[in-house]
Amino acid sequence: MSADGGIDEAGNPGPRLRGRTILISGAARGMGAAEARLFADAGADVVLGDISGEDTAALAGSIGERAASCRLDVREEADWERALELAVRRFGRPVTGMVNNAAIGGDGRPIVRTTLENYLKVVTTNQVGTFLGLKVCGGHMAGNGGGSIVTVSSVMGLAGHRNVAPYVSAKFAVRGLTRVAALELAAQGVRVNCILPGTVDTRMLRGEEPDPEALRQLAAQIPQGEVAEPVEIARAALFLLSDESRYVNGTDLAVDGAMMAAIPFKLG
């Protein structure tokens, strides 16, 4: 461990989250799974929630006693409440951190061919799910001494992108919800910040049959020259949950290899 409790040369985070209980939605795989492992390594007890209950239970089992799992459909307020109840019952203290990863993509069609059914399906999970997480977990933390909430938007919450209108509009909304919640909860000791991942090597990106050449082409478009691993997003979330970010509130943190620093066309 490094002297200041940060990540050491081997990638270990040190005990920065010791004594805390953190709820993670969308925890079964990808960024959520990486967060679960990293937070537990940093000393936290973690409650892993996902609509895929079986996969989530298997991940919690692999982490050990510091982890509990539950089925969490982010569209259902009662599921959020049950997850918080599980945390208190299992670990004996309220939740002091939450990361809302749960999200789905669209069907890859332009607006004029996007059905209302598909639009609402994406928005209900990605936007309404974030709203419910903020509502339930924000109230829980405000009534129990404070905490830190991390929402997950996307670089597509900063700029438009063809053929993903439902996803883009929901991710823009996540950033707005984050700011409102930060303003409303700051006096109760609850911080709310938003991570904007760029291109991350998850199942949502790869699909069921990974294409190494497609990943290579994606990496070539990123100024840093590489697609992020899920743990890069997890490390940013760890920072926002820890006391190291105690004065960071109501803001965006892009984790994108400088994608959004570029002007996407040549001048002159």
Q: Which residues belong to the active site?
A: 167
What is the chain's Cα-based Rg?
18
Please report which helix (H) or strand (E) contains residue 116, including its range: helix 116-123
Q: Answer yes or no: are the C-beta atoms of 193 and 151 closer than 8 Å.
A: yes
Among residues 66, 133, 59, 62, which one has the least CA distance to residue 101? 133
Q: Answer yes or no: are the C-beta atoms of 140 and 91 closer than 8 Å.
A: no
User: Which residues contact residue 149 at a Cβ distance below 8 angstroms, ignoring those fewer than 6 apart?
Assistant: 97, 98, 99, 100, 133, 134, 137, 138, 141, 181, 190, 191, 192, 193
Classify 229 as helix, strand or coil.
coil
